[in-house]
């Protein structure tokens, strides 16, 4: 099947030749424990992503090549600069919440790729939400926000947590009154919007301007994507190759941010169980959206755990093992004849990765 995928996609056959058939691994001096000849891979991964072996992509998937993350635009005017400073302060200010206890940064911490390290978000009064805090690196580029795509702009998104009783438990009115009570905010607001007092869409736009400039730290993966694959050790390089080919990850995790920003059911809706979450369907009520969630960016993913919309995976190797098994059959539920049974994406398949290959894929994820 794997070979067929290469041929169908017109990928160069050489990449396949870097792998030893298991029978002659022992006889081949330069194959490592994984059964791959790393020198051969190094040769194929010279230069930039467009010159690398083509990824294995299913028919009809509008994929994009790996690419550098577009840099943030610095503020162009003094007013934009003041708006960004104001937004940065507001993002970190618990004064915006009902009881002054929770800020955006409580749940979106820079050192954790802007998540909070918890399986499910915990808001004011320790109330627990039903999804995990999202990492924010995809947010500046995503046409639809949240796990289920229910917000269409960062400005619209920002009011959500402020008004959500399970998050910041406040109201726009209360937050606006608080902001008006801080003299420093009034100074920045005047520089940013040229008026005293601020309309809700103005301070919400200030918060959005902060989220818009968030970027992941640069890593060895960025060096590789810029053309220097020597920055990757052997395991990371093999992981990159598997990510593109045998492990099929690039069907959904592609482009600069390693996300297609689309919605897929990878089999985690817990249909028919206590933790059921039907994802985008709960917003659109379109049966095609049953159990689908937006593909997360994998930039900074090692720092973002526990993973998935419900934080059920405490480690990355568990995730890769689950993908390897085709994500199991958790979508069956009790009632297979229920017309609203979520259907797993056809891009999720059993992968037949070896233990060494699973380790290599994790090594690549850890360097993103
Ligand atoms: C109590 C924890 C909590 C607080 C406080 C919080 N968030 Fe979130 N944030 C979440 C959760 C949970 C999600 C995912 C919700 C969902 O998809 O249903 C999320 C999603 C987001 C997203 C969407 C990311 C994407 O790629 O779609 C952005 C942007 C965001 N939050 C910014 C903010 C801002 C700005 C604030 C402050 C105004 C804030 N958050 C406050 C928990 C929190
Ligand atoms: C069919 C599209 C698709 C394919 C193929 C795919 N993913 Fe995903 N991935 C997703 C979606 C959608 C989610 C979020 C699902 C959820 O939370 O329910 C996700 C989540 C993840 C997460 C958790 C990220 C986080 O912040 O929670 C990791 C890690 C991950 N994928 C890695 C991989 C790897 C490695 C591969 C290849 C073996 C892969 N994915 C293949 C769509 C895909």
State the fold for domain 78-212: Cytochrome Bc1 Complex; Chain D, domain 2 (1.10.760)
Q: What is the DSSP letter of 297?
A: P
Q: Return residue ranges of the chain for CATH 1.10.760.10.
A: 2-69+218-365, 78-212
| Mean residue pLDDT across the chain | 91
pLDDT of 328 reads 77
Q: Which residues are annotated as a binding site for heme c?
A: 104, 107-108, 249, 252-253
Tell how far the Cα of 301 is from the centroid of ligand 2, in angstroms.
11
Sign for the CA dihedral angle at 341, 345, 349, 353 comes to negative
CA neighbours closer than 13 Å in the CB half-sphere of residue 183? 0
pLDDT of 323 reads 98
d(CA 230, CA 248): 23
pLDDT of 339 reads 83
pTM: 0.93
d(CA 188, CA 93): 15
In sequence order, the 6+-apart residues with CB closer than 8 A to the CB of 324 are 247, 350, 351, 352, 353, 358
Average pLDDT over residues 72-82: 96
State the fold for domain 2-69+218-365: Cytochrome Bc1 Complex; Chain D, domain 2 (1.10.760)
Tell how far the Cα of 307 is from the centroid of ligand 2, in angstroms.
9
Q: Which residues sit with their C-beta closer than 6 Å to ligand 2?
A: 135, 247-249, 251-253, 264, 266, 268, 293, 295-296, 298, 301, 304, 307-309, 316, 319-320, 323, 345, 347-348, 361, 365
pLDDT in tens, 27-66: 455 567 788 999 999 999 999 999 999 999 999 999 999 9
Average pLDDT over residues 147-158: 94
Any ligand 1 atom below 6 A from CB of 104: yes
Percent of the chain with pLDDT over 90: 82
Residue with tokens 């990878």: 266
Is residue 188 predicted with pLDDT exceeding 70?
A: yes
């Amino acid at each position: 099947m794997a070979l067929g995928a290469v041929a169908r996609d017109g990928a160069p056959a050489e990449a396949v030749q870097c792998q030893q058939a298991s029978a002659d691994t022992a006889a081949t001096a330069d194959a490592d424990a994984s059964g791959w000849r790393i020198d051969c891979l190094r040769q194929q991964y010279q230069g930039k992503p467009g010159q690398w072996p083509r990824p294995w992509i299913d028919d009809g998937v509008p994929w994009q090549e790996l690419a550098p993350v577009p840099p943030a635009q610095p503020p162009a005017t003094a007013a934009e600069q003041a708006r960004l400073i104001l937004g940065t302060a507001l993002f970190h200010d618990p004064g915006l919440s009902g009881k002054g206890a929770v800020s955006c940064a409580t749940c979106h911490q820079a050192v954790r790729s802007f998540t909070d390290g918890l399986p499910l978000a915990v808001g004011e009064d320790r109330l627990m939400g039903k999804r995990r805090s999202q990492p924010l690196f995809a947010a500046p580029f995503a046409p639809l926000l949240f796990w289920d795509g229910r917000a269409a702009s960062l400005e619209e998104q920002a009011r959500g947590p402020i008004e959500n009783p399970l998050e910041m438990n406040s109201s726009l009115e209360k937050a606006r009154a608080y902001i008006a009570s801080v003299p420093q905010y009034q100074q920045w607001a005047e520089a940013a919007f040229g008026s005293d007092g601020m309309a809700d869409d103005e301070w919400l736009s200030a918060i959005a301007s902060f989220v818009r400039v968030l970027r992941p730290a640069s890593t060895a993966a960025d060096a590789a994507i810029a053309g220097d694959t020597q920055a990757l050790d052997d395991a990371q390089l093999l992981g990159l190759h598997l990510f593109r080919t045998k492990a099929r990850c690039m069907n959904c995790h592609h482009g600069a941010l390693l996300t297609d920003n689309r919605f897929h059911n990878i089999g985690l809706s817990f249909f028919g169980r206590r933790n059921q979450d039907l994802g985008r369907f709960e917003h659109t009520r379109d049966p095609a959206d049953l159990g689908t969630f937006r593909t997360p960016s994998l930039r900074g993913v090692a720092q973002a755990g526990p993973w998935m919309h419900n934080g059920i995976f405490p480690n990355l190797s568990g995730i890769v093992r689950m993908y390897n098994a085709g994500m199991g059959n958790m979508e069956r539920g009790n009632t297979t004849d229920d017309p609203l049974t979520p259907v797993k994406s056809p891009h999720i398949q059993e992968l037949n990765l070896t233990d060494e290959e699973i380790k290599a894929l994790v090594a690549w994820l850890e360097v993103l």
